[in-house]
Each structure stands twice: as structure tokens, then as C-alpha cells.
């Protein structure tokens, strides 16, 4: 157990150390670091959570860094994917956070998602729908070939993952998901690619599409409704047989799977050999891709195929030796015995066929020795006790390692450079004792070959293997003993050491010839000292921080300086010296000892400056200038702190040695090969970047407030800094072609309003000089006149002049550098003095006004930078105002894009987001466009009568905008309709959980309640819009007050809220409204029918003078409601509407409908008498109105046609009324009417009235005595 703990601690320490190196300078090879991390992660069962999170952060950052080499970014992506085995959710969250809707992601983010889908199918499937939906919004944004290829790879791997889930869903640990929804999304993506990309595809893109087509079509063929489309793509696939490079992949897609048999494996191997002949680059790319999977069978198979391809001696494959070596390195961290054995066999074949390259080959040889040591250790202390199979496998690995060393010919082409002198590192350590027999033989052959090289003056690379060799001479043994003398102190195995010495002593008496090895180290003295210098730097970097500083000066730095002084001066020596000093500087800085003062600081800075001065000004052939700048930057941060004058002298010297370089194209023309030109370009970019970092360190990056005050707040010292800068930038120097001025302009220009006139003029001169050295023509005379005006001490005058200069030059800033300029000015808004802060804002707004229309491609990055600065700028009122004005200025050019970006902010909107919406609304130039854009967004979001998170976000934004008083005239009808529809669509919804999870956990209770009820939120927005419309005279207040909004937002009372406003505000379109109501009265939805009838009834109170004109459409629709006996609420609504309408009509108007009304009313009463209704109705009032009309002017005709029937019906109705309805009757009015009818001349009417009256009185009596 203790050993496990120690081993874990050692692993964690190794990872922490490696992570520290990732954050250091560029001279550390990130490629090697990430390869090392991949090995550790894949072979470690448990990793500390904190380490995992740090690894995720660094890997994700480097994976998305476009300035790094693709190989490094690819390795960073592999590390990120490997971390999913330890914390899948964190990795997926990190990748998904950089995979956003309607934003084109980084290429390697897409590839990482694809790899996660295939490597972790079970965990990835729950995220698949979200990923595919997001990806669907991105395809139309893709233009670059490389991004299209990445999306094709993603489609390929997503299809494979879903295919696996479809066929093995029972093996997955969660309830079955709807696979059809996933395949629907794959179909949409696949169809878009085939319809949009295929017609204009390039050969390389066609190959990516073909690779994706196989898995996608295989998945779609599971669906009968998609089979036809999937099979319809086969003709295009077959047409691709015209290109040899993609024939193989087309065949793979169209092939019929067969069971694996030996003959098939042999045939497959033959196919790979043919591919190695026709397209070795594609073959190696395929092998490399397959190797990166963690499948043991795949890795062993690929290693076997690669071994066969090398043994076939295919000439074209030799051009890819480096790729083969890198492919092998991928699996060096695999602990599988089969993979280790296959790797060793491949290395053996590579050694035999001269496939070992000098620069990349050593790790392969090192792997042979390390595997011998690992297998020996595992055999002594088995990881899995009592495992005969493992023991047998470890013995096989051990034997294979020894066999490689036994048969290794150290003199084949390239091998001497690989082996010497690093082969000596295996002589002393105890774990390599078993290899000494073969190791000494290799060293002996190298010694003798070196001797023959001197005699025959032939290159070691051309020496053929010598076969058998003579035994070493006594002098040779003495040389080895001298080597052992200096290194035996590291070995604690005393018994082994004694036995080795005895073996040597036994051989001493049998030799008499003279030494042939004394000259071995001749001419190698300087090389050895160079290596030792590098070792000193590495020791300082990795030494315990608590012990480093006490021994730094005497034991490390002084030794490095001594070794440097003893060697011949060449570039390799300089590079080693600079590297050592840089690592020493990093080590001291990491020690974080504020009291430590580095005594050699000034001496080492002098060396670095001398190196830079010695570099030619007309070429860029070596990295000395770049590396020295890096060393200066680290040294300048150490104590004792240099004076400002020293800092400025260093900066001035470096600027003078870099800016006068010829244009980049001219420098590149000095390279003889493309590789040379690429190297020069690389050195140029790195040198300029190092200069920028040094400048920033000198001016901005001082770690203590006291140092910052010394460096920047003292006027006279700041004056010198700007004078030097102005002098450099105005001396007619021609800047290199790719020299970037945006960042420097943002840094210098705001100081045109600084405290001293000399600083102001120097800053203006520097800003103007930047354009001049860039070759951009300016209005020089006018600018010089303005510059002279900066001598004025009036701050307002200074701001006005600076603004005029900004307007002139802002339009000339290269559009691709606006982002850097804005970033620097935002930094200035945070940190400069008040007048310079104001100048920062003026320059930023001027640049956006002049170039805002051209910033569409950079818009998202610009907005992201502004959002990043908001929390700090909020503390400074004036700076915050400038930032809000900048957002408004951008929106005036790109309103839709800004709105779309702000709508992606999580709900509920935080304070900063609300402030941005209000700032846009308060800007007169953009408020109209803003509300129009939001209405369009809301309309698009409700097209399918479904309200998603986007529509709710729009509603929140409208609330913020309208609450500022933005006018809604002209937009009110459309806005009211859409918001009312949104309220209806969100009834009963809850906010998606994923949205809530992205917010801070601490949230005011009011916000939590609001965001959990989208319909209430939508109703609040509608209420806000209604209030603004009332202020503008477009609407009036409801009689219901705030109660109507409560009703609207509840699913059970929503329709009641809609029916609470009886008065029609405008009568101009009444007929159209009535037609719509009539159509809705036929709807199958009972609630909608009820609402339509309520609206028709409201016509009586809202437009009473129009009822008689439209009586036909109103009465027919309302009477139709009486037939819906199954829905009591609809019949009740019809009766209420009839009551209001009949009050406005004469008996002549209703005579045609009289019988129908009475019959349907009676039928309803007979039904409800059997079952208690759910809603109260008022049918007696309807009958009373009929009676009133019966006793009108034309009583004689009425009596003859209706009176008797009416009274009989009334008697039946009253008799059958339930007690509930009897209580609702207007007793006094009904009794009065019946008493009047008792006096009627018609006897039948008198009798009917008497009977009805008695029935009514009896029912009243029953009701009154009911308990």
C-alpha cells in the first residue's frame, strides 16, 4: 500500500512539473510535453481532481490556439480526450462551452467532440442530440476546406456512435432513448452536405465526404422512410471511382461485410502494401489515426501491417520515416503486453531496414532498453500475482528486447548519429545490467568505426557493419573505468559495482596492444561543455525551490559562465548558453522569494544584449535574437529592480535591432528551400512577438504597485519612454510587411491627453509615425498643426484635438487590426488616469464609427472582449459609459448580429446584460432598429407555435427595452399579438434545466421564481408593452386591473383572462373581427368556441349601435352554441351572450330565430336538471327578455302565435329547474310579468299564466324551506 501511495505521489508530482513547463516559454517543446502527458494519463487509474481540471484548462486552451503548430494542437486534443476517462462530464462541458449555436467553432473542438463520441459512446449518447442540433446551425457558416473536413469527420464518428447505440442499446446503463430523433438529425446534416457541399467539392473534400458517407448511410438504412434517400446517394459515390486516391475509400463504403478469415487478412495485408506503393501519405495518416484509439487489437494489427509495409522495401515509404517514427511514439505509453511486443518487433524491423532517422530515432532505441527494464521489474514483482499468461508475455518482451540489441547493427545509415553519445547512459544504471553484453558490443563497434573513419577519411554514415570485433584493450577498459569513476556515486547497488570491477580486472592481464580509443573524445571538449551548460539550466528549473537559491550563484550560474568562457564561440554555444540562462531566470521567478536578489542579473543582461547587437540587420537566419529577447524578459523581472533608464535603454536597443530588418518577403527569399523560408517566417513572427512581450513587461507587467509607480506614474520618466518611442517610430524606418500597428496605436494614442505637453506631443508623433512606417499616407500638414495644439493645458482642448486626430487616422487602421486596437483601448479604460481614460474612449468610439461597417467577421470576438471588461469598467462611471456607447455604435451597423449575441446570454439576464439592452434602447439611432429586430426574432421563434428558450430570451429583452420608454407606435399591433401568442405557447412550461445550470448557484429568490415560470415572464413583458401603449394613447387600461395578467399566465384561467376586456377599442374593423369570431365558433376546441361566443356577446357592450347591422352573423353564431349540449360552459356562454344581444333587438329582429332559441333552451334545461352543471347560467333572464318582446306593440300577433306556447314552456322550465337555478331567478320581475299575463283577454293565456305562476310560487316555497 505504501508503495502505491509513493508511486501516486510521484505521478502527481511529475504531472505538476509538466504542467508548470506548459506555462513557460516557447523554447520548451510542447509536442514532447503533451506526448508525455498522454502516456501518463492513459496509464494512470486515478488522477487528482485538481490536476484533471488544470490539464483540461491547458489542453483546451492550446487546442484552440491558432498560433501553435497543428501537431501540438492535435496532441493537446488527444490529452483532452484522454482526460475523459477520469472526468468525462468536465471534458464534455469544456468542449461544449466552445461549441455554440450559430458560432463557427475551432476545428479541433469539432475533432475532439468526434473523438469523444467514438471513444466514449455510452457517455456521449445523452449529449448527442444537443451536439447535433448545434452542429446543424453551423454548417451554413463553414467556408474553409479544413473546417468542412472536420465536420465530415464529426458526421462520420457521430454516425458510428449512434449506429452502435441502435444495435446495442440494451447494454447501455440508462433508459432507452429515441434513436429515430438522432437519426433524423444525422439525416439533416448528411442531406445538407450532399446538397450544398458536394456540387462545389474539391478532391480532398470529396474524400472526407466519402469517409463520412459509409457510416451515415449505414445508419439511415435502418429507417424505412430514409432508405430511399440514402440509396439515392450511391450513384454519386460510384462516380468517384475516377480518382485513384479515393478509390479505396469508395470500395470500403460499398463493400459487403464478410466474416474475418485468414485468407481475408492476407488479402487485406496485400491491399495495404499496394496502398503503401500508390499513396503512402494517406496510408500513414490512416495508421496514425487508428493508432490513437485505445483498442489493443487495432494497435497490434496496425503495428503488424506497418512492419509488413517496411519489410516490403517500398521506396516511396522511405519519404515518410519521420511519420512512421511519430506513429510508433503514440503507443509507447501503452502497458498492454501485446502492444509492447508488437512495437518492439516493429522497431527491430525499422533498425534492420534503416528506418531510424537521426533526429527522431533515439526515443525508439530508448524504448527498447526501457521495455527490458520494465519487463524485468514486472517479473520480479508481478503486478497480477499467479498470472502465468502475464509472466509469459513479460518474458517475451524481455527476450524481444535482447534480440533487438543482439542483432542491432550500429553502423547502418543514420544509426551512429542516433546512438552516440546517448547510448552511454545505459552503462551505469542497475536495471540495464542484463543488456551489458550487447551494449558493450555496440559501443565497441562504434569506437572502432570512429578509428577507421580517421584512417580512411570516410563518413561514419557509409561504414558497413563490421561483424565480429576484437576484444577491448586495457586502455579501452581504463577509459570506461574513468567514466564509471565519475558516475558510480549515483548507484546504490554496491554488490553489482564490486562484481563489475572484478570482471574488468580479470581481463586486464590478457591485453598488450596500445589504445585505439584515446582519440575518441578528441575535438569533443566544447560539445561536452555545451551539453553541461544545458544540464545546469535544467537542474535549476527542476531543483527543489527551497534549496535552489542558496546554491544558485556559486554552483550553477558561475559554472555556466565559466563553461561559456572556455568554449569556442559559435551559434550552438550561444543557443545553449541562452537556453540555460532562460531556464535559470524562470526557476528564480518560480521560487517566489521577494527577498532574493540575483547578483548576476546585470552581467547576464549584458551578454544577451551583446548577442542581439551582433546579429546582422539585413537577415534573420538564426533564432539567437528571438531567444535572447526571451531571456531578457525573464531576467528583467528579477530583483534587484533596474532603474527606468536601464529598462528604456534595453527596450530602445532591442527596437533598433528589430524594426530595421528588411521586409518579410525579402528575408524569406534568402532561404534556399521551402523549409528554410518557413523557418525564417517562423523566426520573424517569434521575434516580433518576443519584442512585444518585452515591451509589455517593461511598461505594464510590473508585479508590485511600487514598481508600477516608478515605471509609469512619474511624469518625467514616462516622458522619456514616449520620447524614445517617438524617436524610433519617426526616423523614416520602413516597417516589415506584416508589422502590426493596432495594439501599439491603442497603447500610445490615449496619451495624447497626458499631463505633460511633451508626453502628449510624443504620443501623437508616435501614433502618426506608426502609420508612416507602415507606408500609409496621412494628411501630414493638418496632423502636425493639430499636434502643436496639444501644448495647450486646457483638458477640453486636448480632448477635442485628440478626437480630431482620431477621426483622421481611424479610417486608416487596417481592419484586421481593429480587434487588437480595441483590446488595448479597453485595457486603458481600466488603468489610465482620467484624461487618458477619456481619450481612450474617444479613440475607441471614433474607430468604431469609421470602421464599424467592416467588422462583421470580427464582431463576436469584439463583443467577447467588451463583455470581459464589463465587471471592471462598471466601477468607473465614465469608462463604463464609453463601453456602452461602443456597444451602441456597433449595433448601429450590425443590429441583428448584436441582438443575436446578447440573446445567447443565460437567463435570467444578469445586471450587465440588462444594462446593455437598456443602453441600446436609449440610443436614438438604434432603438427603432432594436425593437424591429426583436420582433422579427420573436416571430421566427413562434413559427411552429412552439416557444423555446430563444423566444423567452427575446421576451426578456423586449421587457428591458420597452421599460426604458422606447416608443411602440407602429409596432404595437404586431408586438401585442406575438407576445399574447407567446403567453399561450408557454403555458405550463418550465425553463430548461440546462439553462439554469449555466447560471450562478446563488440567485435571488424572485429571479428563481420568475425564470421557473416562462408564461408569467411573458405576461409581465406583455403588461409592460401594454403600459407603454397606454402612455402613447394606443390602448386604455383594463377594467380588471392587474388581475387580468394573473389570469393570463395560468393554464387554467388563461382563456378567462383573454375574455376579460369587453370593450372594442376601435370600431373600424368590426366586420372582419366578427367574421373571425364566427369562424372560431365552429372550431373543435371548446375553449376557443367559448371565447368566440364571448367576443360576439361583447359586441353588445362594446359596439351596441352595430348589433342590429350585424344581427344575422351574431345571432347565428351564438345560437349555434346552444347545440353544444356536451359542453355546458359553451351553452352557458351562448345564453349570456343572447341576454345582452336581445336587449338591443326588437321582436321583429328575432322572430325568425325565436322558435329555435326556445327549443334549444328547453332541451338544455331538461339535460341539466338531471346532472348538476359545473358553471352557473342565467337562462331565466333570456326568457324574460323574450316575454318583454312578447308584450310589445304588436301584442295581438304575438298572442296568436307565441303567448300560449311561451307560457306553457315557462311552466315546464320552472318545474324542472334545480334549486340552484331557482335561487338565481329575478322573482319580483318574473312575478310581475306573469301577473300581467293573468289579465290577458285570451283565456288560454290567462290559464297558462296562472299555472306558471303557481308553479313558480311552489318552487320558491320549496327553496325557502330547504335546509
Predicted pLDDT at 598: 85
The C-alpha atoms of residue 890 and residue 897 are separated, in whole angstroms, by 9
Highest mean pLDDT among 231-245, 384-398, 566-580, 711-725: 566-580
How many Cα atoms occupy the beta-carbon half-sphere of 44 within 13 Å? 25
Predicted pLDDT at 437: 79
Give how far the C-alpha of residue 926 lies from the chain's centroid of Cα atoms, to the nearest Å. Answer: 30
Strands (DSSP E) contained in 195-301 are none
Terminal C-alpha separation, the chain = 86
- State the chain's maximal CA–CA distance in angstroms: 163
Least confident of 73-77, 326-330, 777-781, 1000-1004: 1000-1004
**Residue pLDDT, tens place only, 145-197:** 889 889 999 999 999 999 888 888 777 877 778 888 888 888 888 888 888 88
CB atoms within 10 A of CB 603: 12
Predicted pLDDT at 772: 75
**Residue pLDDT, tens place only, 33-85:** 777 777 777 777 677 778 888 888 888 888 888 888 888 888 888 888 888 88
Predicted pLDDT at 734: 59
Q: In the chain, pLDDT over 90 holds for what percent of residues?
A: 1
Binned at pLDDT 50, 70 and 90, residue 705 comes out as very low
Least confident of 31-40, 175-184, 243-252, 1136-1145: 243-252
Locate 820 and state its grid cell. Answer: 487588437
CA distances from 576 to 420, 582, 631, 1128, 1145 (A): 19, 10, 12, 95, 107
Binned at pLDDT 50, 70 and 90, residue 671 comes out as confident
Q: From 709, 705, 612, select the one nearest 652 (Cα to Cα).
A: 612
Name, in order, each residue with C-beta under 8 angstroms of 32's C-beta and a sequence gap of 6 or more. none
Instruction: Give phi and psi for 614, each to the nearest 5.
Output: -75, -15
Q: Is pLDDT of 585 > 70?
A: yes
Average pLDDT, the chain: 72
User: Where on the phi/psi map is residue 240: left (φ > 0), alpha (ψ -120 to 50), or beta?
Assistant: alpha
Determine contact, residues 34/83, Cβ cutoff 8 Å: no
Predicted pLDDT at 909: 78
Report which secondary-structure segment, H or E, holds 6.
Answer: helix 2-22
Name, in order, each residue with C-beta under 8 angstroms of 630's C-beta and a sequence gap of 6 or more. 25, 26, 27, 578, 582, 690
Give how far the C-alpha of residue 1139 lies from the chain's centroid of Cα atoms, to the nearest Å. Answer: 64
**Grid cell 338531471 in the structure block, residue:** 1170
Q: Is 358 exposed, middle or buried (0-12, 13-18, 19+ CB in 10 A)?
A: middle
Q: Is 598 exposed, middle or buried (0-12, 13-18, 19+ CB in 10 A)?
A: buried
**Grid cell 494628411 in the structure block, residue:** 779
More confident residue, 144 or 972: 144
The C-alpha atoms of residue 754 and residue 766 are separated, in whole angstroms, by 14
Per DSSP, 907 falls in state S
More confident residue, 1100 or 403: 403
Q: In the chain, pLDDT over 70 holds for what percent of residues?
A: 64
Give how far the C-alpha of residue 262 lies from the chain's centroid of Cα atoms, to the nearest Å. Answer: 46
Predicted pLDDT at 1074: 64
Q: Is pLDDT of 913 > 60?
A: yes
Predicted pLDDT at 474: 52
Predicted pLDDT at 680: 79
Mean pLDDT over 1130-1156 rounds to 70
Predicted pLDDT at 252: 52
Secondary structure (3-state) at 251: helix
**Residue pLDDT, tens place only, 612-650:** 888 887 777 788 888 888 888 888 888 887 776 677 677
Q: From 270, 245, 254, select the one nearest 218 (Cα to Cα).
A: 254
Q: Is pLDDT of 385 > 80?
A: no
Locate 4 and state its grid cell. Answer: 502505491
Q: From 1098, 976, 1080, select the one nearest 1026 (Cα to Cα).
A: 976
Mean pLDDT over 289-299 rounds to 77
Mean pLDDT over 989-1007 rounds to 44
User: 512-537 burial, b if ≥16 CB within 10 A, otherwise e?
Assistant: eeebbbeebeeeeebeebbeebbebb
Supply the pTM of this predicted model. 0.41
Mean pLDDT over 972-1000 rounds to 60
Predicted pLDDT at 863: 82
CA angle 647, 653, 655 (to 5 degrees): 100
| Positive or negative torsion for Cα 961, 964, 966, 968 | positive
Predicted pLDDT at 112: 92
CA distances from 1053 to 983, 1042, 1135, 1211 (A): 12, 14, 21, 37
More confident residue, 529 or 534: 534
**How is 617-676 classified by DSSP, letter by letter?**
SS---SSHHHHHHHHHHHHHTSSSPPPHHHHHHHHHHHHHHHTTSPPHHHHHTT-SSHHH
Predicted pLDDT at 1086: 65
Mean pLDDT over 23-28 rounds to 54
Highest mean pLDDT among 91-95, 212-216, 1167-1171: 91-95
Mean pLDDT over 1190-1211 rounds to 50
More confident residue, 408 or 1058: 408
Determine contact, residues 1245/1199, Cβ cutoff 8 Å: yes
User: Where on the phi/psi map is residue 414: left (φ > 0), alpha (ψ -120 to 50), or beta?
Assistant: left
**Residue pLDDT, tens place only, 457-498:** 443 333 333 344 445 555 555 566 666 665 665 555 666 667
Secondary structure (3-state) at 768: helix
CA distances from 918 to 931, 961, 1119 (A): 12, 6, 51
Locate 915 and state its grid cell. Answer: 444594462
Q: From 1049, 1052, 1058, select the one nearest 1090 (Cα to Cα).
A: 1058
The C-alpha atoms of residue 396 and residue 1158 are separated, in whole angstroms, by 104
Highest mean pLDDT among 71-80, 421-430, 893-902, 1230-1239: 71-80
Locate 415 and state its grid cell. Answer: 544509426
Locate 1098 and state its grid cell. Answer: 361583447
Express the helix, strand and coil content of the chain in percent, nearest 5 each: 75, 0, 25
CA angle 741, 744, 750 (to 5 degrees): 125
The C-alpha atoms of residue 161 and residue 163 are separated, in whole angstroms, by 5
**Residue pLDDT, tens place only, 948-961:** 777 778 878 887 87
Determine contact, residues 56/95, Cβ cutoff 8 Å: no
**Residue pLDDT, tens place only, 731-788:** 555 555 566 777 778 877 888 888 888 888 878 887 777 777 666 766 666 777 787 7
Amino acid at each position: 500500500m505504501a508503495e502505491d501511495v509513493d508511486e501516486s505521489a510521484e505521478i502527481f508530482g511529475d504531472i505538476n512539473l509538466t504542467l508548470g513547463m506548459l506555462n513557460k516559454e516557447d523554447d520548451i517543446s510542447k509536442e514532447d510535453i503533451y506526448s508525455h502527458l498522454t502516456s501518463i494519463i492513459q496509464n494512470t487509474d486515478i488522477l487528482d481532481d485538481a490536476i484533471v481540471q488544470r490539464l483540461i484548462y491547458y489542453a483546451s486552451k492550446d487546442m484552440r490556439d491558432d498560433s501553435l503548430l497543428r501537431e501540438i494542437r492535435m496532441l493537446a486534443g488527444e490529452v483532452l480526450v484522454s482526460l475523459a476517462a477520469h472526468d468525462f462530464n468536465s471534458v464534455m462541458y469544456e468542449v461544449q462551452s466552445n461549441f455554440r449555436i450559430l458560432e463557427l467553432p475551432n476545428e479541433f473542438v469539432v475533432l475532439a467532440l468526434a473523438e469523444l463520441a467514438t471513444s466514449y459512446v455510452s457517455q456521449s449518447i445523452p449529449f448527442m442530440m444537443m451536439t447535433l442540433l448545434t452542429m446543424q446551425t453551423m454548417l451554413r457558416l463553414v467556408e474553409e476546406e479544413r473546417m468542412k473536413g472536420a465536420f465530415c469527420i464529426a458526421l462520420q464518428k457521430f454516425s458510428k456512435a449512434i449506429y452502435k447505440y441502435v444495435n446495442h442499446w440494451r447494454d447501455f446503463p440508462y433508459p432507452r432513448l429515441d434513436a429515430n430523433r438522432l437519426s433524423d438529425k444525422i439525416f439533416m446534416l448528411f442531406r445538407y452536405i450532399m446538397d450544398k457541399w458536394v456540387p462545389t467539392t474539391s478532391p480532398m473534400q470529396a474524400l472526407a465526404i466519402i469517409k463520412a458517407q459509409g457510416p451515415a448511410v449505414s445508419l439511415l438504412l435502418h429507417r424505412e422512410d430514409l432508405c430511399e434517400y440514402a440509396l439515392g446517394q450511391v450513384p454519386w459515390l460510384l462516380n468517384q471511382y475516377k480518382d485513384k486516391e479515393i478509390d479505396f475509400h469508395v470500395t470500403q463504403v460499398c463493400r459487403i461485410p464478410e466474416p474475418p478469415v485468414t485468407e481475408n487478412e492476407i488479402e487485406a495485408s496485400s491491399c495495404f502494401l499496394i496502398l503503401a506503393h500508390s499513396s503512402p501519405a494517406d496510408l500513414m495518416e490512416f495508421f496514425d489515426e487508428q493508432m490513437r484509439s485505445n483498442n489493443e487489437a487495432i494497435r497490434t494489427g496496425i503495428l503488424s501491417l506497418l512492419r509488413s509495409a517496411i519489410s516490403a522495401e517500398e521506396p516511396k515509404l522511405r519519404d515518410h520515416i519521420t511519420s512512421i517514427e511519430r506513429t510508433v511514439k503514440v503507443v509507447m505509453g501503452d502497458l498492454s503486453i501485446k502492444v509492447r511486443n508488437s512495437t518492439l518487433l516493429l522497431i527491430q524491423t525499422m533498425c534492420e531496414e534503416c528506418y531510424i532517422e537521426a533526429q527522431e530515432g533515439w526515443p525508439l532505441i530508448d524504448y527498447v532498453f526501457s521495455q527490458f527494464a520494465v519487463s524485468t521489474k514486472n517479473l520480479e514483482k508481478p503486478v497480477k500475482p499467479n498470472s502465468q499468461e502475464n509472466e509469459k508475455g513479460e518474458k517475451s518482451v524481455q527476450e524481444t528486447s535482447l534480440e533487438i540489441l543482439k542483432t542491432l547493427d550500429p553502423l547502418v545509415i543514420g544509426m551512429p548519429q542516433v546512438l552516440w553519445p546517448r547510448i552511454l547512459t545505459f552503462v551505469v544504471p542497475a536495471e540495464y545490467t542484463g543488456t551489458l553484453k550487447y551494449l558493450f558490443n555496440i559501443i565497441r563497434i562504434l569506437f572502432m568505426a570512429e578509428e577507421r573513419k580517421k584512417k580512411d577519411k570516410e563518413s561514419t554514415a557509409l561504414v558497413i557493419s563490421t561483424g565480429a570485433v576484437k576484444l577491448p584493450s586495457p586502455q579501452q577498459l581504463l577509459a570506461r573505468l574513468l567514466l564509471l569513476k565519475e558516475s558510480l556515486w549515483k548507484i546504490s547497488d554496491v554488490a553489482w559495482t564490486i562484481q563489475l570491477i572484478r570482471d574488468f580486472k580479470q581481463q586486464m592481464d590478457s591485453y598488450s596492444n596500445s589504445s585505439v580509443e584515446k582519440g575518441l573524445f578528441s575535438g569533443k571538449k566544447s560539445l561536452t561543455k555545451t551539453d553541461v551548460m544545458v544540464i545546469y539550466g535544467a537542474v535549476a528549473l527542476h531543483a527543489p525551490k527551497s534549496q535552489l537559491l542558496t546554491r544558485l550563484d556559486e554552483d550553477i550560474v558561475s559554472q555556466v559562465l565559466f563553461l561559456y568562457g572556455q568554449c569556442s564561440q559559435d551559434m550552438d554555444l550561444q543557443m545553449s548558453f541562452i537556453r540555460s540562462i532562460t531556464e535559470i531566470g524562470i526557476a528564480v521567478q518560480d521560487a517566489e522569494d521577494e527577498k532574493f536578489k540575483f547578483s548576476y542579473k546585470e552581467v547576464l543582461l549584458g551578454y544577451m544584449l551583446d548577442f542581439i547587437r551582433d546579429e546582422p540587420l539585413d537577415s534573420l537566419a538564426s533564432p539567437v535574437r528571438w531567444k535572447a529577447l526571451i531571456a531578457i524578459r525573464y531576467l528583467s523581472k528579477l530583483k534587484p529592480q533596474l532603474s527606468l533608464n536601464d529598462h528604456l535603454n534595453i527596450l530602445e536597443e532591442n527596437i533598433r535591432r528589430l524594426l530595421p530588418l528588411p521586409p518579410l518577403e525579402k528575408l524569406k527569399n534568402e532561404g534556399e528551400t521551402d523549409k528554410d523560408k518557413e523557418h525564417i517566417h517562423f523566426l520573424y513572427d517569434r521575434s516580433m512577438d518576443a519584442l512585444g512581450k518585452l515591451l509589455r513587461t517593461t511598461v505594464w507587467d510590473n508585479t508590485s504597485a511600487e514598481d508600477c509607480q516608478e515605471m509609469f506614474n512619474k511624469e518625467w520618466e514616462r516622458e522619456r519612454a514616449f520620447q524614445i518611442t517617438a524617436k524610433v517610430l519617426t526616423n523614416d524606418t520602413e516597417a516589415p510587411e506584416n508589422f502590426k500597428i493596432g495594439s501599439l496605436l491603442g497603447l500610445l494614442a490615449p496619451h495624447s491627453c497626458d499631463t505633460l505637453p511633451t508626453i502628449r506631443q510624443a504620443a501623437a508623433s508616435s501614433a502618426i509615425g506608426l502609420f508612416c512606417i507602415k507606408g500609409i499616407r496621412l494628411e501630414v500638414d493638418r496632423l502636425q498643426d493639430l499636434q502643436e495644439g496639444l501644448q495647450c493645458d486646457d483638458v477640453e482642448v486636448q480632448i477635442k484635438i485628440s478626437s480630431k486626430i482620431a477621426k483622421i487616422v481611424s479610417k486608416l487602421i487596417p481592419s484586421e487590426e481593429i480587434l487588437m486596437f480595441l483590446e488595448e483601448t479597453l485595457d486603458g479604460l481600466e488603468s489610465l488616469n482620467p484624461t487618458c481614460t477619456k481619450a481612450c474612449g474617444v479613440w475607441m468610439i471614433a474607430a468604431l464609427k469609421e470602421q464599424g461597417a467592416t467588422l462583421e467577421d470580427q464582431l463576436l470576438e469584439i463583443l467577447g472582449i467588451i463583455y470581459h471588461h464589463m465587471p471592471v469598467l462598471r466601477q468607473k462611471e465614465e469608462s463604463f459609459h464609453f463601453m456602452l456607447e461602443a456597444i451602441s455604435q456597433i449595433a448601429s451597423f450590425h443590429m441583428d448580429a448584436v441582438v443575436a449575441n446578447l440573446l445567447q446570454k443565460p437567463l435570467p439576464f444578469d445586471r450587465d446584460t440588462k444594462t446593455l439592452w437598456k443602453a441600446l434602447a436609449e440610443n436614438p439611432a438604434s432603438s427603432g432598429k432594436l425593437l424591429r429586430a426583436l420582433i422579427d426574432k420573436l416571430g421566427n421563434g413562434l413559427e411552429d407555435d412552439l416557444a423555446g428558450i430563444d423566444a423567452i430570451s427575446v421576451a426578456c429583452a423586449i421587457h428591458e427595452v420597452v421599460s426604458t420608454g422606447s416608443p411602440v407606435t407602429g409596432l404595437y399591433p404586431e408586438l401585442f399579438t406575438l407576445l399574447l401568442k407567446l403567453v399561450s405557447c408557454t403555458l405550463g412550461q418550465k425553463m430548461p434545466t440546462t439553462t439554469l445550470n449555466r447560471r450562478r448557484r446563488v440567485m435571488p429568490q424572485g429571479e428563481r421564481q420568475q425564470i421557473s415560470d416562462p408564461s408569467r415572464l411573458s405576461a409581465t413583458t406583455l403588461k409592460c408593452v401594454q403600459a407603454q401603449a397606454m402612455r402613447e394613447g394606443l390602448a386604455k387600461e383594463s377594467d380588471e386591473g392587474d388581475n387580468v395578467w394573473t389570469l393570463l399566465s395560468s393554464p387554467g384561467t388563461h382563456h378567462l383572462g383573454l375574455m376579460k376586456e369587453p370593450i372594442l377599442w376601435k370600431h373600424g374593423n368590426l366586420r372582419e373581427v366578427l367574421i373571425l369570431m364566427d369562424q372560431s365558433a365552429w372550431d373543435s376546441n371548446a375553449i376557443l368556441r367559448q371565447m368566440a361566443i364571448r367576443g360576439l356577446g361583447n359586441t353588445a357592450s362594446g359596439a351596441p349601435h352595430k348589433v342590429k347591422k350585424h344581427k344575422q352573423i351574431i345571432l347565428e353564431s351564438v345560437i349555434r352554441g346552444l347545440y353544444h349540449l356536451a359542453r355546458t360552459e359553451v351553452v352557458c356562454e351562448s345564453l349570456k351572450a343572447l341576454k345582452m344581444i336581445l336587449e338591443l333587438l326588437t321582436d321583429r329582429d328575432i322572430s325568425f330565430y325565436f322558435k329555435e332559441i326556445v327549443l334549444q333552451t328547453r332541451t338544455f334545461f331538461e339535460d341539466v336538471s338531471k346532472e348538476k352543471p359545473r358553471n352557473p347560467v342565467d337562462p331565466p333572464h333570456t326568457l324574460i327578455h323574450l316575454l318583454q318582446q312578447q308584450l310589445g306593440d304588436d301584442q295581438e300577433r304575438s298572442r296568436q302565435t307565441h303567448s300560449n306556447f311561451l307560457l306553457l314552456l315557462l311552466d315546464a322550465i320552472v318545474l324542472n329547474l334545480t334549486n340552484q337555478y331557482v335561487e338565481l331567478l329575478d322573482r319580483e320581475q318574473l312575478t310581475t310579468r306573469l301577473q300581467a299575463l293573468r289579465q290577458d283577454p285570451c283565456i288560454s293565456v290567462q290559464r297558462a299564466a296562472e299555472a306558471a305562476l303557481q308553479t313558480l310560487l311552489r318552487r320558491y316555497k320549496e327553496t325557502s324551506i330547504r335546509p
